[in-house]
């Protein structure tokens, strides 16, 4: 069973479109995250949710709106996509313990 899953794995779209990336974890974790990995491979936290409540919003444009319908899901909706949004987006989850589990990533390409 996949611990943290993301769909889609690849997303190619035109500038100005709106798109969503879905994330689900079956680990029973309370906290979920979205990270962005840019073209230089740098990973940076975007959002952190704990028990469906937003904890961290790291100066991300408000075109990005995370939504957590329940503890197991954290979706990322992006409005009016821009070229600079092209990146790999990783969902992750954790509990208090040491490990943070990452999803397989979604490669977003904005044309």
Chain residues that interact with other proteins, rule: CB under 8 A: 31, 33, 35, 40-45, 48, 50, 55-56, 88, 90, 92, 94, 96, 98-102, 104-105, 107
Distance CA 87, CA 39 (A): 6
45 or 72: CB nearest other proteins: 45
18 or 99: CB nearest other proteins: 99
Question: Cα–chain-centroid distance for residue 60?
Answer: 12
The CB-of-42 to other proteins minimum distance in angstroms stands at 6
1 or 41: CB nearest other proteins: 41
Beta carbons of 90 and 103 less than 8 angstroms apart: yes
Report whether the peptide linkage leading into residue 68 is cis, meaning its omega lies within 30 degrees of zero: no
The CB-of-25 to other proteins minimum distance in angstroms stands at 14
CA angle 106, 109, 111 (to 5 degrees): 160
The CB-of-23 to other proteins minimum distance in angstroms stands at 14
């Amino acid at each position: 069973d996949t611990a943290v899953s993301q769909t889609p794995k690849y997303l190619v779209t035109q500038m100005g479109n709106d798109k969503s990336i879905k994330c689900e974890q079956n680990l029973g974790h309370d906290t979920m995250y979205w990270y962005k990995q840019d073209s230089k491979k740098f990973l940076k936290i975007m959002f952190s949710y704990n028990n469906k409540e937003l904890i961290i919003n790291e100066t991300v444009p408000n075109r990005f709106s995370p939504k957590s319908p329940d503890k197991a899901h954290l979706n990322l909706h992006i409005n009016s996509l821009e070229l600079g949004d092209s990146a790999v987006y990783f969902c992750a989850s954790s509990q208090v313990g040491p490990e943070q589990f990452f999803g397989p990533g979604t490669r977003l390409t904005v044309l």
